[in-house]
Structure 1
């Protein structure tokens, strides 16, 4: 099934109901974003300011904010493909300092590429009656939902 996802510029004037909308920040972790990260994406650090701006807007509107966090145990079989990264409790697994979570945010630790598989993400979105998702973050070809 093909899904057409429209591109939206910052100048677009889109109005979403904050009570039915969630911002999902995907894997903005030190290992993917920061110098010294084990799977650093060279362009990821440049996305921090616009993501921070989105976070401020969503939080001030009272919308739900969800972070996904890649999270692996030692000897995870995925390391055979990508090498060791986002090791549970490590600096690399932490959300970057510039985008730190608040007590109202949800943090979904995921052990696979999919943020829904084996996590409470679907439950949270249904209980909060979320019908609109705005997805941002890094490594969208692998880590997104």
Structure 2
């Protein structure tokens, strides 16, 4: 492994069927288009919705499988995305990959100082891609030296929402390269 990558982690967030497939329970327009650029943080919930945000508990009513319920087809990684031997899976139940998970502790133990984030975030009826934004803002607050979001390996409900959030993240010092720019860089 090249020395430049030894302190860098790639976070792949929410690339699951319920966010990508046409019949996905939380499908967001534009999600399928970014799959080729996202080659592992997942969101899984209790089948009864006991661990979801209050505003989404109605999606887990009796007899109904809610979005990304543990063990469901919707919670599986999207076709083409495969966990490899050294990959590490973190299960989250909220927007941020850091909230109430052991991700930060794991990254510290591994000596990670830089994060590259490729995520797919559903708008969930709100005009902010919650998973992208919250994870990035938490990473900045936790003092990761370099945080990058691959702009063409992320998506939102609409292009305007995506652009507005990219603008906000850029304003807090987050690098916003395309996949090609990032691949060609000395990051």
TM category (shorter chain) comes to: 0.7 to 0.9
TM-score by length of 2: 0.58
1:74 and 2:56 are equivalent in the alignment: no
Structure 1 residue aligned with 2:161? none
Higher RCO structure, 1 or 2 (CA under 8 Å, sep 6+)? 1
Out of 86, 111, 128, the position equivalent to 1:104 is 86
More strand by share: 1
Looking at structure 2, the residues matched to 88 and 19 of structure 1 have their Cα atoms a distance apart, in angstroms, of 32
SS at match of 1:123: helix
1:38 and 2:25 are equivalent in the alignment: yes
Unmatched tracts of structure 1, length 5 or more: 1-14, 53-66
Out of 8, 11, 35, the position equivalent to 1:48 is 35
RMSD (Å) for aligned C-alpha atoms: 2.0
Count of aligned residue pairs for this structure pair: 117
Alignment of 1:22-37 (within 5 A): 22-37=9-24
TM-score by length of 1: 0.73
Unmatched tracts of structure 2, length 5 or more: 60-65, 123-128, 136-187
Over alpha carbons, which structure has the higher Rg?
2
Alignment of 1:83-122 (within 5 A): 83=59, 84-122=66-104
